[in-house]
Amino acid sequence: MTVEELNKQLMNPKMLLNNTRANRSAFSVALNNEKTLSCFDVLSRSRVIIYKHVLLNLGGGYNVQTGVFTVPRSGVYSLAVSIYGPGLSGRTQPTCADLQVNGKTVAGLFEKTGLDNEDSNTVVVAVQLKAGDIVTVSLPDGCIVCDDTNHFNTFTGFLLYSTDKM
């Protein structure tokens, strides 16, 4: 066989391998990894929560500087957010967050201090996303989330299956 014929035969397996690698997209991040409980709150305006502790970032879609997950490949994704805040006596701030795609809320999480000592909530959704979509978790006005090495506040997503043609 000629080199050209060998290259043609190798192209198909290489394309399949590249498509398989491109389908790998998963991330899981926690608010922080500090030894003592620290809180993130914004009293004046909503803003994107930046999860600083990366547990997994397969495919590199999560940006730890901005808190943004940029969808690398069109498909159906599983997205999950867990929030936590201590139910401190006298605290009026609820523990809440919004899971957003392109700035629009897909799911809201909310828990207001009750009779217990902590507030938490979790949401898991399956959504169809397009390559380039922006997924964030936003902290609404007046809300608080707190974390430490227990990783109570997490943001996770992974590609269930691609809708791109291979």
pLDDT in tens, 68-125: 999 999 999 999 999 988 765 555 678 889 999 999 999 988 877 666 667 788 899 9
Rg of the chain in Å (alpha carbons): 20
With 0-12 CB in 10 A as exposed, 13-18 as middle and 19+ as buried, what is 118? middle
Q: What is the pLDDT of residue 43?
A: 61
CA–CA dist 84, 115 (Å, integer): 15
Mode of pairing for the β-strands spanning 26-30 and 134-139: unpaired
- Of the candidate ranges 27-41, 48-62, 107-121, the one whose mean pLDDT is the lowest: 107-121
Mode of pairing for the β-strands spanning 53-58 and 26-30: antiparallel
24-162 — its CATH code? 2.60.120.40
Whether the per-residue pLDDT at 126 is higher than 90: the answer is yes
More confident residue, 117 or 129: 129
With 0-12 CB in 10 A as exposed, 13-18 as middle and 19+ as buried, what is 144? buried
Sign of the torsion formed by the C-alpha atoms of 7, 8, 9 and 15: positive
